[in-house]
Amino acid sequence: MSVEKSAELYKEALRIIPGGVNSPVRACKSVGIQPLFIERAQGSKLFDVDGNSYIDYVGSWGPMILGHGNPFVNRALSLAIERGTSYGAPTEREIELARMIVEMVPCVDVVRMVNSGTEATMSAIRLARAFTGRDMIIKFDGCYHGHADSFLVEAGSGVATLGIAGSPGVPKDVIRHTLSIPYNDSQKFRRVMSDLGDNVACVIVEPVVGNMGLVLPAPGFLETLREVTQIHGSLLVFDEVMTGFRVAPGGAQERYGIMPDLTTLGKVIGGGLPVGAYGGRKDIMEQIAPQGPVYQAGTLSGNPLAMTAGIETLKQLKIPGFYESLFKKTDTLIKGLGEILNRLGIPARASCVGSMMGLFFTDREVLNFQDAKTCDLKLFSAYYRGMRDKGIYLAPSQFEAGFMSAAHSDEDIAVTLAAAEDVLTKIKD
């Protein structure tokens, strides 16, 4: 398919935007191809500037759980725009969305709206440090919590995709307060906490990792985090920016029955508009200004358009049968892909949880970042390019999860599996 106009736009973008993109993975460098420039989206499809259509499994990196251009969201946004796009003052819609989050997410008694997942996570650790009076935080290798200084230590997602260990510009004095250990290693976590636990403000984790590819928690791992943090008086923070409303209505904490102290949210709660949030126990959240001394603010926090899109999105998630249908579609696609891989004898691991999906080109079980890094990146690149040529839009990185939406049809799934079989057969040959 022709992508001449995308190529022209990328050339112009390179002249005036660093790397030609406003978020690194979009540049498609790790798969050896230039990015597509998208003109519009509808339902399960993206349409590029050259007129090509693609079945989309990126979903704007997770938010589009209803699909693109949902009529209920669009209608509500049209009315909201007529009333003004930003006030810098409280609105009733902030209360409505906050109430819905409190009702759906088990650990959240009180919630504060921000503008991105990065804002949510950096605010949550500041709050944890203030609440405990400690400086150290623990994260896990390959988990990505945004680009705040404290998190760019063994981070996943774009940092892993570009092969960057950390980031220049992050002071060593900041990094020394962050300790990163292997995900799913309960024994090492216990040893580290035995030595340092009384100095640890919080442990932050993606309860299901989506930023080194999809990696599920091993049995007992999340339970260990909860048990040990309570022993040492450290807070447990679930980064559910990606998993929130994706793996269950109440996120991973509902699915696995673990109650963290704080939760960060984003993506789905904005219905496709920029948004983030952090919330949790009331006694902790009461430390946030103006009620408490921990300062955090944002000009566009609680933006009326983002609140409107979030409200309309969460309303539809509550429709009976919504999650059963969405999860069935995800399972059908992943089972079909697994059958193709097995039939062709290609070493790979396809998995899903809720509406999140993952595919690793490795013959070993992937439990952590080290396992993920054993993947055949050349094979993934060939697969990515072949699928894109057939109109299937995947994340251009081995280290990213994929997403199903309610707008995907049985025909979309059948077309995707047919494309995968053709592409993988050619790669195998």
Q: Does residue 239 have an active-site annotation?
A: yes
- DSSP state, residue 215: B
Catalytic residue among 29, 139, 267, 329: 267
How many Cα atoms are found within 13 Å in the side-chain-facing hemisphere of 349?
A: 21
- CA-based radius of gyration for the chain: 21
Q: Does residue 183 have an active-site annotation?
A: no
Q: Are 272 and 64 in contact (CB under 8 A)?
A: yes
Q: Are 135 and 198 in contact (CB under 8 A)?
A: no
Q: Does residue 389 have an active-site annotation?
A: no
The residue length of the chain stands at 429
What stretches of 210-321 show up as alpha helix (H) in DSSP?
221-232, 252-256, 282-285, 304-317
The CA-CA-CA angle for residues 391, 394, 400, to 5°, reads 175
Q: How far apart are CA 194 and CA 204, in angstroms?
A: 17
The helix or strand, by DSSP H or E, that contains position 41, with its residue range, turns out to be: strand 38-42
Q: How far apart are CA 85 and CA 91, in angstroms?
A: 12
Spatial strand order in the sheet of 38-42:
38-42, 45-48, 53-56, 392-393
Catalytic residue among 54, 144, 256, 323: 144
SS3 at position 263:
strand
Q: Are 237 and 205 in contact (CB under 8 A)?
A: yes
Residue owning tokens 């696609």:
333
What is the number of other CB atoms lying within 10 angstroms of the CB of residue 347?
13
Closest CA to 253 of 291, 308, 195, 205: 205
Catalytic residue among 56, 141, 185, 239: 239
SS (H, E, C) 305-365: HHHHHHHHHHHHHCCCCHHHHHHHHHHHHHHHHHHHHHHHCCCCEEEEECCEEEEECCCCC
**Active-site amino acid positions:** 144, 239, 267
